[in-house]
């Protein structure tokens, strides 16, 4: 966590100074484009949709209804792609046509919907609460699974007239789906298949330093963040655009620092990350998340259990009727599940994925990416993600 703060401070200073000398022609224009603007730029149709959850959060979806070389909306099964921690919908289009999963699925004949979880750049509205309110941020991936995904899935099925859809989740997007399918098991019948990229339920073997630091600090971190009013973690701002360009552009002496910082969190791999794309990525991510979401993951690490949020003894008794939170019953996940993992993933460690596989009753695919250096962010941004991973995703979907 300390190293993160140092990098951000350094980036602020360097970015602020460099911003004055940046020539417009030097900047990749994709840095400043929104998700719909990116999709339109590369010749794909795009729609934006708003969905209100049962507890009042207003979420934004982006839709690619068909591919670049087609205008037909018929016979196109819907697929919802859900981002991971600190991310947003642009993750699935930022690498461009023939490389990004959103475009690949649209070109493969699917009706693509890109989700945005509550609290990120695109989903910062509520029917009664404002992001400046601490109460707005009183959620974790539990609420995302119990409220966000059901609302989004029902909306997509209503709009498309379909009875089922495909779900592709990455990282936190997989966690949300396990919460939904176990806590609201009726939604299993609305899933053609649940495809998990870098699945995160168990975290006993995670190597991600900043989550392990939070876990070791325990309740003190939660108390401190609450006292300091730190309800939101890493919301996106123009500062990251400046940082990404000033520190991470080609020929910058600090470009290797950018790469190594990403690797420190997600697993080392210099081969699959195109360093010249880091400024574009940082033009969109990080996209913000509630501090409580990070604390929930830290609790999973500390307890060794995939269970609901620990509010403390008294509140646990009131909410759960027990001093400890209940575990999620993964046996209730009856939808077909494909688990796809990387050997070099610091967050979704292969041993934890193996544990998850044994707990799920209907695993249809257990796929290890055929590159032993494939890490957590490679699932989104790897140069050869199509041949290493996305072709397998399409293959699994075509069979179901």
Looking at residues 82-109, what average pLDDT do you find? 96
Choice between 227 and 212, residue whose per-residue pLDDT is larger:
212
Q: Is 39 buried (19+), middle (13-18) or exposed (0-12) by CB count in 10 A?
A: buried
> In 3D, which of 241, 250, 246 has the Cα closest to residue 284?
241
* The predicted structure's pLDDT at residue 9: 37
Among 213-222, 240-249, 254-263, 291-300, the range of highest mean pLDDT? 291-300
* The predicted structure's pLDDT at residue 226: 52
d(CA 153, CA 149): 6
221-231 CB burial, b ≥16 within 10 A, e <16: bbeebeeeeeb
Residue boundaries of the structural domains of the chain: 33-236+284-398
Choice between 273 and 399, residue whose per-residue pLDDT is larger:
399
Residue 387 has pLDDT above 80, yes or no: yes
pLDDT tens digits, 120-139: 999 999 999 999 999 999 99
Q: Poorest-confidence range of 175-184, 190-199, 224-233, 292-301?
A: 224-233
d(CA 344, CA 323): 36
Partners of 126 in the beta sheet? Answer: 57
Residue 217 has pLDDT above 90, yes or no: no
What CATH number belongs to 33-236+284-398? 3.40.50.1820
Q: What is the largest CA-CA distance in the chain?
A: 61
Among 7-11, 13-17, 194-198, 290-294, the range of highest mean pLDDT? 194-198
pLDDT tens digits, 360-375: 999 999 999 999 999 9
Q: Poorest-confidence range of 116-120, 132-136, 249-253, 308-312?
A: 249-253
* The predicted structure's pLDDT at residue 15: 40
Looking at residues 264-269, what average pLDDT do you find? 54
* The predicted structure's pLDDT at residue 223: 44
For residues 330 and 178, the answer to whether their CB atoms sit within 8 Å is: yes
Q: How many CB atoms lie within 10 A of CB 74?
A: 6
Looking at residues 309-328, what average pLDDT do you find? 96
Q: How does residue 269 score in pLDDT terms, banded at 50, 70 and 90? A: low
Looking at residues 282-310, what average pLDDT do you find? 90
Q: How does residue 69 score in pLDDT terms, banded at 50, 70 and 90? A: confident
The structure's pTM equals 0.87
* The predicted structure's pLDDT at residue 285: 75
Looking at residues 52-58, what average pLDDT do you find? 98
Residue 21 has pLDDT above 50, yes or no: no
Report how far Cα 125 is from the mean position of its chain's Cα atoms: 19
* The predicted structure's pLDDT at residue 27: 78
Q: Poorest-confidence range of 47-51, 214-218, 323-327?
A: 214-218
Tell me which residues are annotated as active site. Answer: 171, 376
DSSP string spanning 73-94?
-TT--EEEEE--TT--GGGGTT
Q: How does residue 78 score in pLDDT terms, banded at 50, 70 and 90? A: very high
* The predicted structure's pLDDT at residue 6: 35
Residue 352 has pLDDT above 80, yes or no: yes
Looking at residues 229-249, what average pLDDT do you find? 54
* H helix or E strand, kind and range, residue 317: helix 313-320
Residue 65 has pLDDT above 50, yes or no: yes
Over pLDDT 70: what percentage of the chain? 79
Q: Is 189 buried (19+), middle (13-18) or exposed (0-12) by CB count in 10 A?
A: exposed
Q: How does residue 228 score in pLDDT terms, banded at 50, 70 and 90? A: very low
Q: How does residue 229 score in pLDDT terms, banded at 50, 70 and 90? A: very low
**Average pLDDT value over all residues in the chain:** 85
Q: Poorest-confidence range of 21-25, 28-32, 315-319?
A: 21-25
Rounded to a whole number, what is the distance in angstroms from the first to the last CA of the chain? 42
């Amino acid at each position: 966590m300390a190293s993160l703060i140092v990098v951000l401070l350094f980036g602020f200073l360097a970015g602020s100074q460099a911003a004055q000398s940046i020539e417009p022609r030097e900047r990749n224009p994709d840095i400043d484009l929104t998700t719909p603007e990116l999709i339109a730029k590369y010749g794909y149709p795009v729609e934006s949709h708003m969905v209100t959850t049962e507890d009042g959060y207003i979420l934004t979806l982006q839709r690619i209804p068909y591919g670049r070389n087609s205008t037909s909306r018929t016979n196109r099964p819907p697929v919802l792609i859900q981002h991971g921690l600190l991310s947003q919908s642009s993750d699935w289009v930022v690498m461009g046509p023939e490389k990004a999963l959103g475009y690949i699925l649209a070109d493969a004949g699917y009706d693509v919907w890109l989700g945005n979880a509550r609290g990120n750049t695109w989903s910062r509205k509520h029917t009664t609460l404002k992001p400046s309110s601490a109460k707005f941020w009183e959620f974790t991936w539990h609420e995302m699974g119990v409220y966000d995904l059901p609302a989004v899935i029902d909306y997509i099925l209503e709009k498309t007239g379909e009875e089922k859809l495909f779900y592709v989740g990455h990282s936190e997007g997989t966690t949300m789906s396990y919460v939904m399918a176990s806590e609201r098991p009726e939604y299993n019948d609305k899933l053609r298949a649940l495809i998990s990229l870098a699945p995160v339920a168990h975290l006993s073997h995670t190597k991600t330093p900043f989550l392990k630091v939070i876990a070791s600090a325990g309740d003190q971190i939660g108390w401190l963040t609450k006292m300091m009013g730190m309800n939101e973690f890493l919301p996106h701002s123009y500062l990251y655009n400046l940082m990404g360009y000033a520190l991470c552009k080609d020929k910058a002496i600090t470009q290797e620092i950018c790469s190594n910082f990403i690797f420190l969190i997600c697993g080392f791999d210099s081969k699959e990350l195109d360093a010249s794309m880091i400024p574009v990525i940082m033009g969109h991510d990080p996209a913000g998340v509630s501090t409580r979401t990070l604390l929930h993951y830290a609790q999973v690490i500390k307890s060794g259990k995939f269970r609901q949020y620990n509010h403390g003894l008294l509140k646990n008794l009131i909410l759960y009727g027990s001093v400890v939170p209940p575990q999620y019953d993964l046996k209730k996940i009856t939808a077909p599940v494909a688990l796809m993992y990387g050997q070099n993933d610091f967050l979704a460690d292969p041993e934890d994925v193996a544990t998850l596989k044994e707990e799920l009753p209907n695993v249809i695919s257990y796929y290890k990416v055929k590159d032993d250096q494939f890490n957590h962010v490679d699932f989104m941004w790897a140069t050869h993600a199509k041949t290493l991973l996305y072709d397998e995703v399409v293959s699994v979907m075509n069979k179901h």
